[in-house]
Structure 1
Amino acid sequence: MVSVTGAVGTVVESAQDAFGAFKVLRRSGLVDPTRPKELLTTVKRAKIIGPCAAAVAHGADEYPEAGAVADEHGELTFGELNAHANALANFLLSSGIKPGSVIGVIARDHRGLLTTMSAAGKAGFRLAMMNTGFGKTQFAEVAEREKIVAMLYDEEFTDLADTLPADTLRIVTWVDGNRPIGDGVRTLDDIVDSGDSSTPPEPAEWGGLVILTSGTTGLPKGAQRSKMSPFASALLLDRIPIPQRSAMVIVSPIFHSTGFALWGVGTALGNKTVVMRRFDAEKTLAAIAEHKAEVLVAVPTMLHRMVALGPDVIGKYDVSSLKIIVLAGSALSPTLSEAVQDTFGDVLYNLYGSTEVAIATVAQPKELRLAPGTVGRAPVTSRLALFDADGKRISGTNVRGRLFVRNGAPFEGYTDGRNKEIIDGYMSTGDMARFDEHGLLHIDGRDDDMIVSGGENVYPLEVENLLGRHPDIDDVAVIGVDDDEYGKRLRAFIVVAEHANPTPEDIKAHVKGHLARYKVPRDVVFVDDLPRNPTGKLVRRHLPTGPL
C-alpha cells in the first residue's frame, strides 16, 4: 500500500508540474496555444536538433530580419545566424564527422560560439563546451576524456588546440590576426562565406550537450544532457519575467550554465543578444544604453565592478530601459545585493542552481530587499529538501542542512560515469542551506567547506559575508587550514579597498565584535586579488594553506 500511495503521489505531482509549467510558458509568450501547428513544430524541432538550433530556426522562420546577436563585428539577424549555422553543420558533415560524434568549442562570447552551438544541434553532434579559463593540461585531459574529434576555437586559444591529436579537425571561430592560421585549418568566416547554407539533413536525434562544471576543486567534470524537457524553460520564466522581442546584454560566459540557459530562453522569445568577448564595466553600461536592453545577465564580480564605477560614470549612460538583472555563478553577498539595487533600482534577480541540478531557486527584487543575499524560492517544477549528515530529512526555521533538489531538468550523470548523491529522488547540490522566517532560502557555503575548530562548527561563508560589508575591504575569501592546537583555524585573504589601510588586528577586531570568538580568523593575509574562474567562483585550491 505504501508503494502504491507513493506512486500515485508521484503521478499527481508530475501532472501538477506539467500543468503549472504550461501556464508559465503560456503567460511568458513562449507557448501560444492558439497556434497548435507552430507549437508542435517547435517541440519536434527541439527534440531532434536541440534547444539552441530550434530557437534560432524558429526565429529565422518567424522574424528573419530581426536582430539575433550583436558583437564586436556588428549585428546578425535570425535569418543570417541560422544560415551560418547551416553552413557550418554542412561543412562538418562533409568533412566525415558522423552524427553522434563529439565536437568541442572553446570560445568567448561572440557570434562564432552561437553559430557553433546551433550547428552542432543541426548536424546531430554532441557539443562539449570548454572553459575559457583552461590551462593546457586541463584542456588536453578533458578533450581526451570526452573523445572530441573536432575543435572550434578562438585564435587566442591556438596553444591549447595544439595539444590535440594531429587528426583532430580544427576551425578558428574568431581571428585576432596576431598569429598565422595553421596549415589545413579553416576559419569559420571562410566556411560561412563560401559554404552551403541550405538546411542540413535532419539527424535521427539530438546529439546533446556536455557542460563542464566549474572545476574549482579539480579537473572539471562533464555534465551531460541528451534530453531537454519542454518545461525546462519554465524554471526560469516562472520567477523572471523575461521580455519578448527586446534586447539582452549577456556578459556571463555562455559556455557555462547560466549564460547558456538565459541565451536559449531569451532567443526562443525573439530577443537580440548583445555579447562582448571580454567584460568591461563601462562598455557594458554603454551596450545597455545603445541597445535599450531590458535584461542584463552577469556574475557577482562583474556587478561589483559596475557599481564601483560610481554615480558620475554610471550617470553618463541612460540605462533606464533595464528592467531585469539576472545574477548567478557565485554567491551574492548581502552588501552587493543592496548596492546593486540602490544603484540600478529594484531589478535584481538572484538565480541559484548548478550545472547538475539546473535551476533550483530564484530570488526576486522584493525578496532581496527583505533578506539581502537570499536565493529566494523554488520556481515551478523545482522542489527543495534539507537532509542531515545521516540522510534524514530536516525542517524548521534557520535549521541548517544539506540541500537537495528535484526538478524537471536534472543532468544524466557525469561523462566519467559518476553521479551526484540522490536521496528519495532529490539530488545533492553540495551546499549547506537554511530557510529563514519568511520561507526564503539562504546558502551557508559548501558542505565540505565547514571546519571544526576547537570543537566548534564554523562556516567560512558567514565570516566572508561579514567582512564583505567592511568599508575597507574590496574582496575577501575565508578558508580553513590545519592547526596543531585547534585542528583547523580560519584564514582570511583580504583585497583592500582603494585608499584604505586596515591592519590584521583591525580585521580580527571587526569579526570579534560581531561573531563568536571561535569564528575570528587567526590568519589575515592581504593580497592584490583573489583567484576566480570566468564565472566568478572562487578557486579555493589556489589559496595557500601551508605555513605563512
Structure 2
Amino acid sequence: MLMLSLRNTLEQISDTIGAIKVLQNSGAIDLKKPKQVVEAVKLGKSIGPIATVVGHVARESPNQAAIVDEAGMLTFAEFDARANAIANQLHADGLREGDVVGIIARDHRGLLTVIAGTGRAGLRLAMMNTGFGKPQFNEVAKREGIKAMFYDEEFSDLVADFPAQKRYLTWVDSTGKPPTGVRVLEEIVTSGDPSAPPLPAEFAGFVILTSGTTGLPKGARRSKISPFASALILDRIPLPQHKAAVVVSPIFHSTGWAMWGVLTALGNTAVVTRRFDPEKTLQAIVDNQAEVLVAVPTMLYRILALGDAVISKYDTSSLKTVVVAGSALPPALCNRWQDTFGDTLYNLYGSTEVAVATVATPHDLRLSPGSIGKAPISSYLRLYDDNDKQVTAKNVAGRLFVRNGAPFEGYTDGRSKQVIDGYMSTGDMALVDEHDLWHIAGRDDDMIVSGGENLYPQEVENLLAAHVEVADVAVIGVDDEEFGKRLRAFIVPVEGASPTEDDLRAHVKANLARYKVPRDIVFVNDLPRNPTGKLVRRELPAGPLA
C-alpha cells in the first residue's frame, strides 16, 4: 500500500510538471508572469474557467474578435461587459449563489455569454439538449432543480411551464413582442450594468448532459475544474493563438464546450452558427481564414458529400487542425477527409464523464484509420474483462476504463460509473493494436451473441461505410429464433447510387467472417442521430420486417 501511494504521488508530480510544460508551450500560460498565473487559478475557483479566461483576454486583447455569429462580431471587451451585465441582472432578479439556471439554445453569442455570465453570478448552469421533446425537457428541468431558463425563441413551447418572470430570451427570430414579463437577453446586455459583480464564494459549476442515446440524459456535474485539464487537449492537438476557429460541434455538449473553452483561453475567435450547413461551413473557413474546425464525424460526411466540384470552389488552405469527436470515426471517412483536405484530422475520444481520454493525430489516422490514438498527459487507460481482470494482450477487446486529470463528480441523480483501482468505466469496448494505438470496438451493451459468436456491430458498420455506394450506415442486433441474435444493417445510399443487398453482403463476406454478414439489409433515407451526431440505436426498428 505504501509503494502504491508513493507511485501515485510521483505520478501526480510528473503529470503536473508535464501539464505545465504543455500549457507553457501552447501559450495557455506564461510562467514569466507567475503572479498572473496564480491569480487566474484563484479566480477560476470562484467564477469558473470560462469567465476567467474571457476576462483575462479582454484585459490583454480587448479589441480581439471573440465571437462571430449570424448577428455579427463581438470583441473580447464586449463579451466581458455582456457577461457582467447578465450576472448583475440575475442577482437583481433574486437569483442567489448556488441556484441552478438552465439554457436551451443553439450556438450563438447568447449561449456563450450566458455561460460566462452565470459563472460570474455564482450560479450553476445546466445546458439542455436542443433535441429534447417536452416530456424530456420537463423531466430534466425538474430533476436538476432549475429555477430560471434561458432559451431561443424556437424553444418557446418547451419552456412554457416556467413563469414568464423566470424566462430569458437568448435569440429572437420573430418581429413580434416577447410574452409579458420575459426579458430579452440583447436588451439586458446593451442596457444593463457592465461593471464586475461581487466575486462568488466558490464556482457553482455546470451540468452537461450525457448524449441520452439509451434513455433520459443524465446530468454530469462539474464544479472543480483542474487548471491543467486543458493540457488533455493541448498535449496532442496543436491550437493557434489569436486566430479563428469554426466551431460547428454543439457547444451545449462536452466536446464543443471543452474545445471552445480552450480556443477562447488562447485568444481565438469562435465562429459559430445556429445550424450546420456544409457549404456555409466552407465559406466560414474562407471568410475568417480559420485555422481550426471543430465538428462531429457526420458533419465531415456532409461536407465531403458536396463533391469535388463544390469543395474546390473554396480555398481552405488556412485550415490546419480539424478536431472531431462525439461519435465513432469510420476508417473510410479518415482517409477520404485527409485525401481531400490534407493531413489535418484529429480524433478526440472521451465522454461527458471521463473528459478527454485519448487523441489520434493525423499520423495515427494514416497509420491506423479509425483509431482513437493515444492518451495525452495525465490520462491513463486500462482494459478489464467481464470478471474485472485486467486485459493486456494486443488486439484483444476489453471494457475500457479511464483515469485522468479531469475527475468526474458523479451524476446529479446520485449515481456514478463503475470504478476499478481508480479507473472509471467508459461503457465502451476497446483494444490496443500492434502500433500501440487504441481502437473502440463498440459499446459494451451493443455486443450481441449470434450462434455462440460475440459480435460488435461497429466493426461491420465501419466496413460497410467504406463501400463506395454507402453514405451512412447503422448495424444493430435483432432477435433470431435459430441463432438467438442476428445483425440487421440500415443503409443510406449515396445520392444517385443503387446498391443491392447481395452487393453489400458480398462486401462484408469478402472482408469478415461469414457469421458477421448481416442477415437483414434495410435501405433508408436517413438515420436517427442526436444533435452531437451519435446514432440513436433504440429508434431503429428491431422487430419483424414487413
The alignment's TM-score, normalised by the length of structure 2, stands at 0.99
Q: In structure 2, do the counterparts of structure 1 residues 472 and 178 end up closer, same or farther at CA, with 3 Å as the change threshold?
A: farther
- Compare 249-258 and 506-515 and name the one that shifted more: 506-515
Amino-acid identity (%): 65
User: Which residue in the other structure is 1:45 paired with?
Assistant: 43
Q: Which residue number corresponds to residue 276 of structure 1?
A: 273
Partner of 1:86: 84
Q: CA deviation at 1:506?
A: 2.2
| CA apart distance, 1:5 | 0.8
Q: What is the deviation of 1:308?
A: 1.4
Corresponding residue for residue 402 of structure 1 = 399
Residue among 299, 310, 316 paired with 1:319: 316
Q: Secondary structure at the match of 1:159?
A: coil
Which stretch shows the higher mean deviation, 409-418 or 155-164? Answer: 155-164
**1:289 aligns to 2:308 (yes or no):** no
Q: Tell me the residue number matched to 2:63.
A: 65
Mapped to 1, the partners of 2:324 and 2:508 lie a distance apart of 28
Work out whether residues 164 and 182 of structure 2, in 8 Å CA contact, stay in contact via their aligned partners in 1: no
AA aligned to 2:41 is: V
Deviation at 1:262, TM superposition (A): 0.7
Query: Of residues 103, 111, 114 in structure 1, which corresponds to 2:112?
Result: 114
Whether the aligned pair in 2 keeps the contact of 1:299 and 1:536 (CA below 8 Å) is yes
- Alignment partners' CA distance in 1, 2:185 and 2:503: 55
State whether residues 151 and 168 of structure 1, in contact with CA within 8 Å, keep that contact through their aligned partners in structure 2. Answer: no
SS in structure 2 at match of 1:480: strand
Contact 1:136 1:163 in 2 (8 A): no
Tell me whether 89-98 or 39-48 shows the greater mean CA deviation. Answer: 39-48
Indicate how the Cα distance of structure 1 residues 179 and 416 shifts in structure 2: closer, same or farther if over 3 A, else same: farther
Structure 1 counterpart of 2:301, from 300, 304, 307: 304
* Larger CA deviation: 37-46 vs 226-235: 37-46
Corresponding residue for residue 138 of structure 2: 140
Residue of structure 1 aligned with 2:433, choices 431, 436, 448: 436
Corresponding position: 1:245 with 2:242 = yes
Q: Distance in 2 between matches of 1:346 and 1:96?
A: 52
Partner of 1:19: 17
1:473 and 2:470 correspond? yes
* Post-superposition CA distance 1:59-114 (Å, at most 9, x none): 11111111000000100000001111111110011000001000001100000000
Q: 1:231 aligns with which of 225, 228, 231?
A: 228
Contact 2:165 2:181 (8 Å CA) reproduced = no
- State the Cα distance separating 1:503 from its structure 2 match: 2.2
Secondary structure of 1:91's partner? Answer: helix
Question: 1:198 corresponds to which residue?
Answer: 195
Equivalent residue in structure 2 for 1:170, among 154, 164, 167: 167
Residue 168 of structure 1: how far off its partner (Å): 6.3
Distance in 2 (CA, whole Å) between partners of 1:69 and 1:185 is 25
User: Is the 2:164–2:180 contact (alpha carbons within 8 Å) kept by the matching residues of 1?
Assistant: no
Name the SS for the 2:29 alignment partner.
coil
> Is the 8 Å Cα contact of residues 256 and 294 (structure 2) preserved in structure 1?
yes
Q: Which amino acid aligns with 1:241?
A: P
- Report 1:258-407 matches (<5 A): 258-407=255-404
Distance 1:99 1:544 in 2: 46
1:447 partner amino acid: D
- Partners of 1:60 and 1:376 lie apart in 2 by 35
Tell me how far 1:511 sits from its aligned partner.
1.5
1:354-387 deviations in Å (ceiling 9; x for gaps): 0000000000011100001100000000000000
Counterpart of 1:98?
Answer: 96
* Whole-Å separation in 2 of the counterparts to 1:312 and 1:408: 45
What's the secondary structure of 2:435's corresponding residue? coil
Amino acid at match of 1:341: Q
The residue type equivalent to 1:332 in the other structure is L
Distance 1:53 1:492 in 2: 46
**One-letter code of the match for 1:416?**
D
What is the deviation of 1:180?
A: 4.5
1:28 deviates by 0.5
Name segments (4+ residues, structure 1) moved above 4 Å: none
Kept in 1, the 8 Å contact 2:167–2:182? The answer is yes
Deviations 1:189-224 (A, max 9, x none): 111121111101110000101000000000000000
CA change 1:167–1:76 in 2 (3 A) is: closer
**One-letter amino acid of the structure 1 residue matched with residue 200 of structure 2:** P
The answer to whether the 8 Å contact 1:451/1:459 transfers is: yes
Does the residue aligned with 2:316 lie in a helix, a strand or coil? coil
Map Cα deviations across residues 404-425 of structure 1 (whole Å, 9 max, x no partner): 0000102100000000010000
> Shift of the alpha carbon at 1:178?
6.4
Would you say the 8 A contact 1:110–1:275 is kept in 2? yes
CA contact (8 A) 1:299 1:327 kept: yes
CA contact (8 A) 1:383 1:405 kept: yes
Name 1:421's counterpart in structure 2: 418
Gaps of 5+ in 2: none
SS at match of 2:301: helix
Tell me which residue corresponds to 2:252.
255
**Which residue identity does 1:91 align to in structure 2?**
Q
Is the CA contact 2:206–2:221 (under 8 Å) kept in the aligned structure 1? yes
Structure 2 letter corresponding to 1:525: V
Alignment partners' CA distance in 2, 1:24 and 1:316:
37
Equivalent position amino acid for 2:22 in 1: V
> Shift of the alpha carbon at 1:163?
3.3
Asked whether the equivalents of residues 149 and 168 of structure 1 are also in contact (C-alpha less than 8 Å), the reply is: no
Change (3 A) 1:426 1:179: farther
**Per the alignment, in what secondary structure is the counterpart of residue 227 of structure 1?**
coil
Whole-angstrom distance in 1 between the partners of 2:405 and 2:423: 11
Out of 448, 453, 456, the position equivalent to 2:453 is 456
Q: Which amino acid aligns with 1:536?
A: G
Give the whole-Å Cα distance in 2 for the aligned partners of 1:93 and 1:150. Answer: 12
Q: How many residues align?
A: 545
For the residue of structure 1 that corresponds to 2:323, the secondary structure is: strand
CA distance in 2, matches of 1:91, 1:367: 48
Letter in 2 for 1:8: L
Deviation at 1:485, TM superposition (A): 1.3
Q: What letter matches 2:124 in structure 1?
A: R
1:517 to 1:163, Cα distance in 2 relative to 1, 3 A: farther
- Correspondence for 2:52: 54
Question: 1:18-43 deviations in whole A, cap 9, x for unaligned?
Answer: 11101101111111111112112211
Do the aligned partners of 2:127 and 2:208 also contact (CA within 8 Å) in 1?
yes
Superposed CA RMSD: 1.0
Q: Residue 206 of structure 1: SS of its match in structure 2?
A: coil
Residues 440-492 of structure 1, C-alpha deviation per residue, up to 9 Å, x if partnerless?
A: 00101001100000111111011101100111111100000111111111110
Question: Cα distance 1:168–1:226, how it changes in 2: closer, same or farther (>3 A)?
Answer: farther
Which amino acid in the other structure matches residue 258 of structure 1?
A: T
Letter in 1 for 2:363: K
Asked if 2 retains the 8 angstrom alpha-carbon contact of 1:121 and 1:206, the reply is yes
Q: Distance in 1 between matches of 2:335 and 2:175?
A: 42
CA contact (8 A) 1:375 1:443 kept: yes
Distance in 2 of aligned mates of 1:167 and 1:300: 39
Unaligned residue ranges in structure 1 (runs of 5+):
none
